[in-house]
Structure 1
Amino acid sequence: MSTEPVLSSLYETRDVEVARCGALALWSCSKSNTNKEAIRKAGGIPLLAQLLKTSHENMLIPVVGTLQECASEENYRAAIKAEKIIENLVKNLNSENEQLQEHCAMAIYQCAEDEETRDLVRLHGGLKPLASLLNKTDNKERLAAVTGAIWKCSISKENVTKFREYKAIETLVGLLTDQPEEVLVNVVGALSECCQEHENRVIVRKCGGIQPLVNLLVGINQALLVNVTKAVGACAVEPENMM
């Protein structure tokens, strides 16, 4: 399916419903790697950045959904940063719409491998809403996206300091049991980054987080085991953690 007519109609329309249908079509197209590249070459990122400024939530969901799909590609991540899209993703984390929150968190998760992007999330005030959303555990897809974003943002020490301030480490420890594996991988990934610092290892121990981490060493999920090994290894630096 060619993406150019869709992009063209999105540029020209002033009708929100027509634009929403175009954005939905683009989202559907963006699930294919070939189409992702076609969207980028046809100037899709500046257009998506423009559409992201709308106040219509039913338009924002397919726009952010498209960005989330495309952010798996490095070329897109650079363009997303260049078009100042991170600021709007952060803003929409504060929406009441769960699906929009999920897609924004997932897009941040994809983009936050990049150090400058991690800084932008912090500078635009994105860490506090992410920490807040950790407490809403009923929607597992959203929780997986939020914990993923927190994990990647935690690669930067300045962000870990903020997460400690927002009591996110205690909340992460509380998510070490009774969660699906896609959530656990991210929770443990975030803790493995936080536990590089003594102060956070103390928090994890005092919250009773060591035993649940050790219990996860018996699993077979490769991604989870990698993160658990790193987290337990960081905690084992201090003998009292392993008693």
Structure 2
Amino acid sequence: MPRSHAPSRRHAERHRTQRVGWLRAAVLGANDGIVSVAGVVVGVAASGASAQVVLATGVAAVVAGAMSMAAGEYVSVQSQADTEAADLAIERQELASEPRLEQEELAHIYVQRGLSPALARQVADELTAHDALAAHARDELGITESLRARPLQAALSSAAAFAVGAALPIGAALLAPLERVTLATTVVTLAGLLLSGGAAAWLGGAPVLRGALRVGFWGALAMAASHAIGGLFHVAV
């Protein structure tokens, strides 16, 4: 007797592309919060400013930076969302006016991806009958639900991550003696950047060490530049 096979349960798959929308904004925000605020703190401290001025400047940089990151991410991603909406509107109109040509276009796409003409036409027919706009959005325009532009999500992720990242140099400036602010901020910031870069690489499926060193290098370079510029204006405030 032929062996009967019970239907296998569908295995759950966890893909990292679903994190792209918020992960990119969060990583950018966190790294920018650490580097930019640390640069401000180190630069102002190197100029000979008092502890109160260093702290006030750092807090002001956190507020301004978080708002700037949120606004920048929202405007940028909203532009992408507007473009997607405009393309979908065009596609919707073409499907209404020339459905047969659109169906042939879909079949041609599948032939280019390796299907035989007969199978490509069958796939195009069935997907068109199911949801023509979704099929064209995915396979012609490259718009998928997991990668759709989400402006508000990007803005909130970026601003929150900026504030969290900026807490490291602010905390170092607050707790360290004035003569040690530069050293403390540098050490804490580099540690935070290494952790941030490594965590971002791990979440994205990239090599952790490479991601950590890449972020740490550019952060160290930014702080060195800020310290050098601050030293040019060595005045007591």
Query: Could you say which TM-score interval applies, normalised by the shorter chain?
Result: under 0.3
* More helix as a share of residues: 2
TM-score, reference length from structure 2: 0.24
TM-score, reference length from structure 1: 0.23
